[in-house]
Structure 1
Amino acid sequence: MRTDALLRRIWQGEVGEAGRPADVKLRPVFTGIVRVPAKMLELETDTPFLMADDAELMPALPLGDVLAEELDMEVPYGSFVLFLPRRPGRPDPVLRSRDFGVLTGEALQHVTGHGSLASHQVTGGLYVLAHCAARLAANATSQNRKFDTRAFCLGLGQSLSRAWRSDRADLAPAPFDRPDFLWQPELRSYLTALDPAFAAPDAVTIPCDLLTVCDQPVALAEWVARVDAQVRDLMAALDTPDPAVRGLKAISSRFNLQ
């Protein structure tokens, strides 16, 4: 959503707290994956989205200040503000689980967009973070029976499909519309064709602790820096050739072998 449109909707009173018990119970799933303070709001929208509290809706007018002044809301410093679709009737935990999957995908893209990964590492970095998030979500099911992992992963795929969208006719479609899309070989084939620099470990070897960089939520900038450092180290290892390969390259260079 455009920032000017969001500002207008805030002024018109169309944004409110998402304080229903079902939403509050699911929030720890999100903050267990994205370990940043989160302020949950609702408005009429088809797709959930998030913004940093210091995102400027107008020059020198950050979102957190607008919410505090216009709606008398307390917005934690260094937080994500989550905008969830307002739906009539009883809360649907399946739909809300999908919403949190979309928001998680947006948060992961915030990391790769604001971190220090080299441009050729961004696709692979987002891929490994998505795997880590999906595994943490699977673990959350045992702690919250209302949370639906499959719906979460569908939402995650919905978000990543926008990040990795391409209009190239020669690309076979990626399987974003299935909950196990991250594990499909078609996805790696798609990403390799989309970005020839794409590199990532085998899915089963991706560590689960890339996102668990703190025990309690920390300010957004700190969380991004910590996660970015983890991913950067992992991607740097992929950029470093095997010692045997380095030795062969050194010999080839020394003797001018072709």
Structure 2
Amino acid sequence: MPRISLLYFTILLFFISSFKLNTQAGTISTNDLDQAMAKKNSDLAQFQAAKASYKEVGSIQNYLEIRAPFNGIISSRNVNLGAYVGPSGKGSELPLFTLQDQKNLRLAVSIPEVYTGYLKQGDEVTFTVKSLPSQTFKAKVKRLSGALDLRLRSERIEMDVPNAAKRLLPEMVAEINIPLPANANTFIIAKKALLDTSEGLYVLKIEKNKAVKKGRETDEKVEIFGNLNEGDKLIAEPTEEMHEGMVIKP
């Protein structure tokens, strides 16, 4: 019995000593630490790879989405869902679709050279369209090209047209009424009083002929520029047979 008790005590004492030794620093082997660190680095690498794969899938999904810089309506589409789009595919020579912002439209018109001096930025114009003949729309001149088109000899002007109700549609043809306020003192006469000859435009004053330049005109009247004064008397219906010194009967 004493031997058994002594052996049990010795084994218990060794176990307690081993437990104390394991709680001290440096008791874990370097190999175990290296394996644990390698396992940690391997798990971290797998985590980073999973994150990269997730970003790759997100990038591919974003590549398949087309984002526009503004909200609008797709007014035309040249390809259908599932169609191949590429260098040799259908629609390669055409845009995929056309996106239009119909809340704000742009009205463009070309002004003949003779009238370009009457318009400036901010002038208001009115216009109508064939689909809504009873309605009159307003717009203000926002941009002037500042140069003449060499082919048409006209200046392009643009107006912004609010279209919140979407009553107007893009590519509509508008009939525009553009006011041309006079920027100088001019005279307005009846068209019958203007004599158009091979030598130029004339009005016949009671004293003698006066050469003039024609300006704006309406159905019955025309604006003239020339050496005329207020109160001058003109012949209402001149002809080329009339000459200087001829007696004019009232």
TM-score by shorter chain over 0.5:
no
Higher radius of gyration, 1 or 2:
2
Q: Normalised by the shorter chain, which TM-score bucket?
A: under 0.3
More strand by percentage: 2
TM-score, normalised on structure 2?
Answer: 0.21
More helix by percentage: 1
TM-score, normalised on structure 1?
Answer: 0.21
Structure with higher RCO (Cα < 8 A, 6+ apart): 1
